[in-house]
Amino acid sequence: MAFGVYNGGLAIGGFLSPLIINPLTNALQNTLHMNIFLVSGVLSVIITVLIVLVQFQARLLKQNLA
């Protein structure tokens, strides 16, 4: 189950990345001088914090073991 979620996330992220990251980088490049690596890193940290707060992995494990 976890492997399927991981693969699905990669496919969705690969499709949505240019649609989300490029406009954010263009908007923040002029004002805050942020490059694409910094924008991606900040978004990754935000997503990671959200996943930890909602205990996504624990819920998947509980559902898989039940």
Block means of pLDDT (10 residues each) for the chain, length 66 residues? 76 81 82 81 89 87 80
pLDDT at residue 1, as a whole number? 65
35 three-class SS = coil
Classify each residue of 29-49 as buried b or exposed e, where b means 16 or more C-beta atoms within 10 Å of its C-beta.
Answer: eeeeebeeeebbeeeeeeeee
Sorted by sequence, the CB contacts under 8 Å of residue 39 that are 6+ apart come out as: 21, 24, 25, 28
d(CA 31, CA 19) in angstroms, rounded, equals 20
pLDDT at residue 12, as a whole number? 82
